[in-house]
Structure 1
Amino acid sequence: MKTKSPVRPSLPLSVYLLLAILLATAPIICLLSVVDSAVVRQELEANAEASRNQTESGIILAVNLVDAGLKLFDKTLDREMEDEFDLVIAEYERAGRDPGEMDLFRVREELGGGMDLYIIDEDGVIVNTTYPPDLGLDFRQMPDFYDRITEIRLGDSFAADRVVCGISSGELRKYAYMPSPDHRYLFELGLAGSEFQQYRTALKYREAARELVDENPDVVEIRIFDCLGEMIVGETHPDDGRRLEMVRQAYREKTVVEVENATAGELTRYVFIDMADLDYASDMSLVVELTYTTRRAEAKLAGMLDRHMGVLLIAFFCIGSLSALGAHHLTRPIRTLIEDADAIACGDLDHPIRVSGDREFVHLAESVSAMVGSLRETIRKTRESEEEIVRYSHVLEEQVRVRTAALEESNRAANLYLDIMGHDINNANNVANLYADLLQAELAGEPGAELLEKARKGLTKSIAIVHDVNTIQQVQGGVPLLRPIDLDAVIRAEIERYPAPITYAGTTVTILADDLLSEVFVNLIGNAVKHGGPAVEIAVRVEDRGEEVLVSVEDTGPGVPDAVKEHLFERMVRGTNSTAGTGLGLYICRMLAERYGGRIWADDRVEGRPEEGAAIRFTLQKVREEGCL
């Protein structure tokens, strides 16, 4: 017997050893490199974060220092403005405490013309003023400020505010407040002066933060916004709408909001500086927008990665060179052993094994030598066995040929007997049955007629048995040749053979079967008529279920007990009543259903109530549009 020679590996063992060493060391080297890169990345990120925190802490401190100085300047104007409210209150009393009757422009002239007057009602709305752009201004849109001025209106004392930008004018003004004697209104004075531009300028905040920003090379830009979202330091941007939302979020949440733009390599932080003071109505808090570049850190990280890649390549080269030398030395005895094994494989069983060196290889050489000796003995015995097998195979082939011929002769004899039974015996039965019918007509009403009836029934049963055997022979005779069959025509042809009333609605389905399909309906309808009694009602139903159809033959007879249903379609299983047949009819139905690619089972006509009649159901395969399954 020939055996396939084993397929040799495409690479020598030394190469596999080299690859194994590299695969063992490469993950360790790569892991160390990845860990070191992660540590460096964390250090770079930590340094950048520390630098940002230091810059932002310094900016917060510097802005608070500037604001403290400006607050001292703002207080120098408080006494002057408090004294001016006497004229406003006098005019309020003169007008009968009706703000609409107050001559605020006359009072403004008496105050020197440098202050604007405002009357704010209980709803926080300016109802009268010497500055028309602010008339109707509703402070309820600024809830915190509205709460503060409401508190001042309900109090009894003067309250000064800081120098802030006017909402409508945008110029710097010093505001102060005094409640009306009846607390219905709040009087407000707004002082505007050119000296504010000297001491109150946004550049002071920028100058305070510039030195800290210059020390951090990652800072690209700084902008400062007030509590109303107005930019007081910096330049405009095309996306200021989005940036203003971040400013308002930082002010609303009183925290730091961070937005990263990976594409541009920038990180923008909106830092809230809390400068609210309960002594003043206006909130001087600011939001500082700092834009940092992340490209410097990324450049450092990229350089570090390049250095790591160089180190990795050098390490792999060194390890590969040393591994190649070691693998070559380790595999030298194996190469010698392979050469000797190849010589033996070519038929030279007397070739010596030339292996020296380590003890393991010497043991291997001894084992190979022993194996070659055993191989010689095995070959000798194999040749002797082959000769014996050849002799036995010739004898076995002759026995198989003789027995095959005998089996074919037996099959021909069996088919001959079946043909004789199906033709000659069936003809004899039919002739005997015909004479029995004539004799029964002659003996009608006379003694012996009953015995003749039993003989005639026996002949009828014999005819049915022969018919069933012929049907089984046809079913088992070879590969079925199925073709499209009109199911409706088959069902109607079988219904017409029975006088009993049978309900059938008809169908248009074409199924795949052959001429033996009618035997299914012959047996099922015949059983329903035979076992159902004189008043039995029979129904044939066809349900279309996609690629197959479900056919049911139902009757109102005694039904099938649950214990019998499982074995009802087995060969030679008969019913339990007096009308039981040969036991082949339902077995033939099962064979034909499986022949057509379906299945058959017994069911209750009314589910769960077998005593109300039986239902035999089976499936058939439909013919597709192409004409085949």
Structure 2
Amino acid sequence: MGLFDRKIPFKYLLMGIIFLIVIVLVLTGIWMSYVNSSDNLRENAYRLRTMTESYIENSFQLIDAGLKLYDTAYNHDMQEAFAVVMAEYNGTGGDPSRMDLEALKTAIGGMDVYVINESCVIEYSTVPADRGLDFAVIYPDFCIYLHEIRNTSGFYPDRVVRDWSTGTLTKYSYMPTSDHHYILELGLQSEYFEGERKQPSYSVIVDEARAFNPYLEEVLLFQKQKRLIGNKTYVPTPEDHAMLDYILWENRTSQEVRDTGQERTVFWEVIDLRDPDYAADMSIFAKLTYNDALLSQELARLGVLHAFAGLLLLFFGALVVIMVSRELSRPIEQLVNDVNSVASGDLDHAIRPVSGYEFSSLAESIQVMVDRLKEQIRKCEINEKRFMDLVQFLPQGVFEADAEGNITYANRAAFDLFGYTQEDLERGMNILEALAPEDHTRAKETFMAVLQGKKTEGSEYSGVKKDGSTFPIIIYNTARMVKDGTITGS
């Protein structure tokens, strides 16, 4: 049996259909809202990340531009010092072993002197620890730079950088010898470097970036020497070493590494500060660690909020559905109750007016139908009374029997003929009781033939009165039919 075959009240059926529509609309709306909100959240997180990385790069570029101006302030002094060193070199006939480097250092204000040969090795220096340092091994790109300037002439200032071994801030400058056999290098150290160069602090930029980006968990800034800016004792992890080597020597582009297990994203941002006018590579390699778990938590919280909103909407939607369905079904329930009252036999029950044009028209039509039915019944009752009065006054006996042969009606002449009363009929009588036993079989056959729709002629029987006396009688049988042609008796 299907759902619509069951006798479900229209109110509940309407309520179910409307609530089903509400569920579909609410779930669709909530899902679309969640998808849009989650997309916006991810997009905002990505936009915030892009802004953070752009802010760090632009800020560091600006800081480096300021430092570059600061570093050029010492170029004039170093260029004058080179004139003294070059004169000493030329005075020895181009033999640096004959140069008194310590005396030169004193003469030029304490600047360290280095003599680099054609193999990029520091052959002579006022810094004993640097003698024999092979740039072709430790800084191949710097060795290439030295080869490029070796066959030229002029003054090549460099930036203030940290010494590769001591980490002391030092400004270097270079000048090829006139015979192009060596490159002279000067290193200037100043007690003011540390203090003056700390003014544009990288840590301030990092703190500001972390302040406006809650997803940014950690920022580590590395220089080309793999030193961590702001922490001289920090030792990079093997993973950091491998990534820095890859960025430095294989692919100098920003790299991204996702750790799904820890819900972290590590972005290695390459802030390329190389300048073809300088040998030093001032680039910074920023390791930005983003907390993806925070975004996942926000998405989960967003899902919970949407689920709660959906349940709340469904609850209030259910209340609205109940009220609306009751309001819509009230006219139908009223009509059904009125029609049921009429159907139970109370034709005088009025069909009450209802709201709504269609329902009101239906109520009026039903009332018209009931009024016409009452009129038809009244006419039928008049005709039936007229017929019954006619039958009652017939001089011949007339009776009706059902399909079992039980007498259901008899006129006055029949009662007088057989001597029975209305009370006897109401107690129950069969037509065979009014016939002699020897006629029962023939009477049954005739009665069955009539029930089957066959036509019969009048038959003679011996009638039996109530007092037991018999008398001859002729009985005419005809089938009694209802409106649809069904035979219900004789």
What amino acid maps onto 1:98 in structure 2? D
What is the CA-CA distance between 1:122 and the residue it aligns to? 1.7
Task: Give aligned-pair identity as a percent.
Answer: 33
Report the CA distance shift for 1:111/1:315 in structure 2 as closer, same or farther (over 3 A). Answer: closer
Give 1:469's aligned residue.
none
Provide the C-alpha distance between the structure 2 equivalents of 1:122 and 1:165, rounded to a whole number of angstroms.
24
Q: Deviations over 1:133-165 (max 9, x none)?
A: 222222224333222222121111110000001
The correspondence of residues 423-434 of structure 1 with structure 2, limited to 5 A, is: none
Say what the alpha-carbon RMSD is for the aligned residues. 3.9
Report deviation, 1:237: 7.5
Specify the alignment match of 2:265 in structure 1: 267
Match of 1:140 among 118, 123, 136: 136
Going from structure 1 to structure 2, the CA distance change for 1:260 and 1:202 (only over 3 Å counts) comes to: farther
Q: What letter matches 1:225 in structure 2?
A: F
For residues 565-603 of structure 1, the C-alpha deviation after alignment (integer angstroms, 9 at most, x for no partner) is xxxxxxxxxxxxxxxxxxxxxxxxxxxxxxxxxxxxxxx
Q: Structure 2: any 5+ residue segments left out of the alignment?
A: 330-361, 363-490
State the SS of the aligned residue for 1:232: coil
1:64 Cα deviation after fit: 2.1
Spell out, residue by residue over 1:97-139, the C-alpha distance to the aligned partner (whole angstroms, 9 max, x if none). 2334433233223333x22111112221222222122222222
Q: 1:58-77 to 2 correspondence within 5 Å?
A: 58-77=55-74
Tell me if 1:82 matches 2:79: yes
2:122 aligns to what? 126
Asked if 2 retains the 8 angstrom alpha-carbon contact of 1:81 and 1:176, the reply is yes
2:104 matched residue in structure 1: 107
On the 8 A contact 1:99/1:128 being kept in 2, the answer is: yes
Given the alignment of the two structures, is residue 297 of structure 1 paired with residue 290 of structure 2, yes or no? no
- The superposition leaves residues 375-432 of structure 1 with CA deviations (integer Å, 9 ceiling, x where unpaired) of xxxxxxxxxxxxxxxxxxxxxxxxxxxxxxxxxxxxxxxxxxxxxxxxxxxxxxxxxx
Match of 1:195 in 2: 192
C-alpha distance 315-210 of structure 1, shift in aligned 2 (>3 A) = closer
Q: d(CA) in 1 for partners of 2:108 and 2:234?
A: 43
Structure whose CA Rg is larger: 2
Measured at CA, do residues 107 and 72 of structure 1 come closer, stay the same or move farther in structure 2, by a change above 3 Å?
same
Could you tell me which of 276, 279, 284 is aligned with 1:278? Answer: 276
Q: What SS does structure 2 have at the residue aligned with 1:77?
A: helix
The offset of 1:20, in angstroms, is: 9.2
Aligned to 1:45: 42
Q: Residue 201 and residue 247 in structure 1: after superposition, are their counterparts in 2 closer, same or farther (change >3 A)?
A: farther
Query: Structure 1 CA distance, aligned partners of 2:206 and 2:2?
Result: 76
Give the superposition deviation at 1:221: 2.7
1:171 to 160, 168, 173: 168
Matches of 2:243 and 2:38, distance apart in 1? 28
- Counterpart CA distance in 2 for 1:224 and 1:134 is 27
Residue number in structure 2 paired with 1:117:
113
Over residues 524-548 of structure 1, what are the superposed CA-to-partner deviations in whole Å (9 max), with x where a residue is unaligned?
Answer: xxxxxxxxxxxxxxxxxxxxxxxxx
Q: Which has the higher contact order (CA 8 A, sep 6+)?
A: 2
Aligned to 1:217: 214
Aligned residue in 2 for 1:459: none
Query: What is the alpha-carbon distance in structure 2 between the residues aligned to residue 234 and residue 98 of structure 1?
Result: 42
- Structure 2 counterparts to residues 246-257 of structure 1, below 5 A: 246-251=243-248, 253-257=251-255
Partner of 1:4: none
Letter in 2 for 1:223: L
1:138-197 residue CA offsets vs partner (Å, 9 max, x unmatched): 222433322222212111111000000111121110100010111121111111121111
Aligned pair partner of 1:288 in 286, 291, 302: 286
Q: Deviations over 1:502-534 (max 9, x none)?
A: xxxxxxxxxxxxxxxxxxxxxxxxxxxxxxxxx
Deviations 1:309-361 (A, max 9, x none): 123334555677859x98xx9xxxxxxxxxxxxxxxxxxxxxxxxxxxx9xxx
Question: Does the residue aligned with 1:275 lie in a helix, a strand or coil?
Answer: coil
The alpha-carbon deviation at position 220 of structure 1 amounts to 2.7
Q: Is the 8 A contact 2:255 2:267 kept in 1?
A: yes
What letter matches 1:110 in structure 2? Answer: A
Change (3 A) 1:312 1:212: closer
Tell me whether 1:152 sits opposite 2:149 in the alignment: yes
The residue type paired with residue 255 of structure 2 is V
SS in structure 2 at match of 1:289: strand
Local SS of the residue matching 2:81: helix
Aligned partner of 2:482 in structure 1 is none
Distance 1:248 1:20, change over 3 A: farther
Q: Which moved more, 1:31-40 or 1:276-285?
A: 31-40
- SS state at 1:160 partner: strand
- Which residue type is aligned with residue 145 of structure 2? R
State the 1:263 CA deviation. Answer: 4.5
For residue 148 of structure 1, give the secondary structure of its aligned residue in structure 2.
Answer: helix
**Range with bigger deviation, 22-31 or 154-163:** 22-31
Name the counterpart of 1:489: none
Contact 1:120 1:127 in 2 (8 A): yes
Deviation of 1:78 (Å) = 0.9
Contact conserved, 1:70 with 1:199, CA < 8 A, in 2? no
Which amino acid in 1 is paired with 2:288?
L
2:256 match? 258
Distance 1:13 1:290, change over 3 A: farther
Map 1:473-552 to 2 at 5 A: none
How many correspondences in the alignment? 327
1:50 Cα shift?
Answer: 1.8
- Quick one: distance in 1 between partners of 2:304 and 2:25? 19
- 1-side partners of 2:300 and 2:163: how far apart? 51
Q: Counterpart of 2:390?
A: none
**C-alpha displacement of 1:218:** 3.2
Q: Which one-letter code corresponds to 1:279 in the other structure?
A: D
Whether the aligned pair in 2 keeps the contact of 1:202 and 1:233 (CA below 8 Å) is no
Q: Distance in 1 between matches of 2:2 and 2:68?
A: 92
C-alpha distance in structure 1 between counterparts of 2:58 and 2:277, whole Å: 21
Q: Distance in 1 between matches of 2:42 and 2:283?
A: 30
Query: Gapped runs of 5+ residues in structure 1?
Result: 1-6, 330-357, 359-629
Closer/same/farther in 2, CA of residues 22 and 81 from structure 1, 3 Å limit: same
* AA partner of residue 72 (structure 1): L
Does the 8 Å contact 1:66/1:208 carry over to 2? no
> Does the 8 A contact of 2:226 with 2:244 survive in 1?
yes
* Partner-residue secondary structure (3-state), 1:231: coil
- Do the aligned partners of 2:226 and 2:236 also contact (CA within 8 Å) in 1? no
Aligned to 2:310: 312
Aligned CA distance change for structure 1 residues 122 and 70 (closer, same or farther; 3 Å): same
